[in-house]
Chain A
Amino acid sequence: MASPILSISDAVKTYGDTHALNQVNLDVAEGEFLTLLGPSGSGKTTLLSAIAGFIKMDSGKLTLRAEDITNRPPEHRDFGMVFQGYALFPTMTVRENVAFPLKVRKKPSSEITKRVNEALEMVQMGAFADRMPSQLSGGQQQRIALARAMSFSPQVLLLDEPLSALDKKLRADLQWELKALHNQLGVTFIYVTHDQDEALSMSDRIIILKDGGIQQQGDPNTLYNRPRNKFVADFLGKSNFIDVTVKGQTNSTLHCTAQDVAFDVETDTTNTTGDTVKLALRPERLKLGAPNEEFLPAVVKQVSYLGERCQVIVTHKTLGEMLVSCPTWKTDITPVAGLTVSIGWEPDAPVVLADN
């Protein structure tokens, strides 16, 4: 990474006995769309609040372009921030809200007018400048909040679950808009969410947090296809987990068994014969077919139809219950409960989890 715009080192924050942040180290690249993803209590909001300056870390260091800003108050950090509940100033009009950061910076009024108009145009809200926030819908309010946070050209834009108060369809639309805005402006975004779809669809890089620590980080594709541990494989999408015993390894092919079922798995890890490792298998990488010699026989237990896809729970006599997700428009068989089928997968489908 070229020299990072923002750098957090050894961040620690405890509340009583719980570690909200446990030795977190993170570098943020200039212009990056970085997402902090995790379940509630994972420390993602604490980390964002520490970056914004709203909470004081117990220990650790925060630098902005190599300058120590650990003890700098939030108003001097020059970070725009967007909140889940919009946090618009209720007694000010839309225009006054967007002008607020420029006014406290004592910009000349001609510049304020120009930049407020630009910011409102950017989020297509120019026609609403003289409304009060209470007269706008949730999606419109969040657009205004975004315009307000961007009007003063901040160094970094912090977004704290900005879409989670909106309904599903609007959320999807705004994901596209946010991503387009990021590409257009080139500003560094740090985005907090608990929604894996949001994280996958927008981010350049995702940091997965749990119990105040980073579990894994990487681009969406790597994280989804090469999860390092069970938590990541389970949190980002769905996975079937199989405990297997290592029988040997030839180059990158791992030979292992789960009782009477043998697997040959492509892996970049090195494993010792006799060890037990965990495999993760994505439901969409499993293929359902008519019973045949080549694949494993299984019985359909339950079917859930989702329109474009269909989720099927099948039972195998040693592997137990497996979740299979197959496209509904391209199937060899129509799964119904009680039907005997076969399940199979490509050799590169199972992922060896490095640790638990």
Chain B
Amino acid sequence: MQRSAFQIFFQTGAWTVIAFLVLPLLVVLPISFTDTSYIGLPKEGLSLQHYVNYFTDPKWLGATWTSVWIGVVVATCATVLGTAFAIGCWFLSDRASSIARWVLITPILVPPVVQSLGFYRFWVVLGLIDTHVGVILAHTLLALPYVSISVFAALTNLDRNIPRAARSLGASVMQTVWAVVVPAAKPGIATGFIFAFIVSFDEIVGVLFITVRRVSTLPKMIWEGIQDNIDPTIAAVATVLVVITLVATAIGVMRKK
């Protein structure tokens, strides 16, 4: 097939962008197998010592566990609240509800530093600094818009007569929501849950502002690892996370097919 200059230009451009996005990610792979005790490429040979370190050091494992359980709690809270909010707004569909939807997505619009400063000032007053509850609250707030947006997207195509049909057939408002609206919103709820987990698992700025010693999440450990001791364990952790993400995505794609 004859290719036009136009096509070549855009194809080259597309591959350049992909390389730009993926290459920095791939750099961590050789670093994680380095035999040196500082961040750098392998010198004499490959070594698994940093993986061993990650999987045996209680500090790294503890931080990972903290991030996971906080992520699950945040995802659960944000999914329940965000779904309830989106379904409520969908039922109302008036001016007030569309204003409320805009207000709820402000955490996405406000710069994270500003948001975190707000959390800090407010959490000091509430006595939530350096507590797990404080982190969960902050992350739930940050994750809420992602849940409500994805649930709302799932509901936009739902016929508004469907809840009416359920009511006329004898279902109360609550029965209608449970039997008809929630099942229709399920794909959006699942997406929202995953997003909420990722938002929490990945969050660093807020955690740096509102925690000191007692609470340590994985992103915070990585951050501190780079700050104090240029420990290649970070690269091992990063590689593990990338592999988990790739496997999860692959499973997701396979299941869709």
To the question of whether A and B form a pair in one complex, the answer is: yes
**How many Å from the CB of A52 to the closest CB on chain B?**
6
Q: Main secondary structure on chain B at its contact with chain A?
A: helix
**How many Å from the CB of A19 to the closest CB on chain B?**
22
> What are the residues of chain B within 8 A of A90 when measuring CB–CB?
158, 162, 184
Cα A75 to Cα B171 in complex, Å, equals 6
Do residues A89 and B166 form an inter-chain contact, with CB atoms below 8 A?
yes
**How many Å from the CB of B134 to the closest CB on chain A?**
38
Cα A54 to Cα B167 in complex, Å, equals 9
> What are the residues of chain A within 8 A of B56 when measuring CB–CB?
none
Name A100's closest neighbour in chain B (CB-CB).
B169
Do residues B184 and A83 form an inter-chain contact, with CB atoms below 8 A?
no
* B175 touches A (CB below 8 Å): yes
**How many Å from the CB of B188 to the closest CB on chain A?**
13
Among candidates B161, B167, B180, B183, residue contacting A74 with C-beta atoms closer than 8 Å: B167
Name B180's closest neighbour in chain A (CB-CB).
A89
* B172 touches A (CB below 8 Å): yes
Cα A142 to Cα B170 in complex, Å, equals 19
Name B157's closest neighbour in chain A (CB-CB).
A90
> What are the residues of chain A within 8 A of B59 when measuring CB–CB?
none
Do residues B167 and A78 form an inter-chain contact, with CB atoms below 8 A?
no
Do residues A75 and B179 form an inter-chain contact, with CB atoms below 8 A?
no
**How many Å from the CB of B159 to the closest CB on chain A?**
5
> What are the residues of chain B within 8 A of A79 when measuring CB–CB?
168
* A220 touches B (CB below 8 Å): no
* B244 touches A (CB below 8 Å): no
Q: What 0/1 pattern do residues 148 to 160 of B give for CB contact below 8 A with A?
A: 0000000000110
Cα A75 to Cα B166 in complex, Å, equals 8
Q: What 0/1 pattern do residues 63 to 90 of A give for CB contact below 8 A with B?
A: 0000000000111111111011111111
Q: How many residues of A contact B (CB 8 A)?
A: 31
> What are the residues of chain A within 8 A of B186 when measuring CB–CB?
91
Name B182's closest neighbour in chain A (CB-CB).
A91
Range, interface on chain B: 10 to 19
* A149 touches B (CB below 8 Å): yes
A87 touching B159 in the complex, CB below 8 Å, given contacts A73-B167, A75-B167, A100-B166: yes
A81 touching B184 in the complex, CB below 8 Å, given contacts A75-B170, A105-B170: no
* B121 touches A (CB below 8 Å): no
Do residues A91 and B184 form an inter-chain contact, with CB atoms below 8 A?
yes
> What are the residues of chain B within 8 A of A52 when measuring CB–CB?
164, 168
Do residues A104 and B159 form an inter-chain contact, with CB atoms below 8 A?
no
> What are the residues of chain B within 8 A of A88 when measuring CB–CB?
162, 165
> What are the residues of chain A within 8 A of B165 when measuring CB–CB?
81, 83, 87-89, 145, 148
Among candidates B158, B161, B172, residue contacting A83 with C-beta atoms closer than 8 Å: B161
**How many Å from the CB of A1 to the closest CB on chain B?**
26
Cα A54 to Cα B165 in complex, Å, equals 10
* A212 touches B (CB below 8 Å): no
Cα A76 to Cα B158 in complex, Å, equals 24
Residues of B whose CB lies within 8 Å of any CB of A are 158-159, 161-162, 164-172, 175, 179-180, 183-184, 186
- A selection of 27 A-B contacts at a CB cut-off of 8 Å is A73-B172, A74-B167, A75-B167, A75-B169, A75-B170, A75-B172, A76-B170, A80-B169, A81-B168, A81-B169, A83-B161, A83-B165, A85-B161, A86-B159, A87-B165, A89-B166, A89-B183, A90-B158, A90-B162, A90-B184, A101-B169, A104-B170, A104-B171, A104-B175, A104-B179, A105-B170, A148-B165
Residues of A whose CB lies within 8 Å of any CB of B are 52-54, 73-81, 83-92, 100-101, 104-105, 145, 148-149, 152, 158
The 4 A-B residue pairs with the shortest CB-CB distance in the complex, in nearest-first order: A101-B169, A91-B183, A81-B168, A87-B165
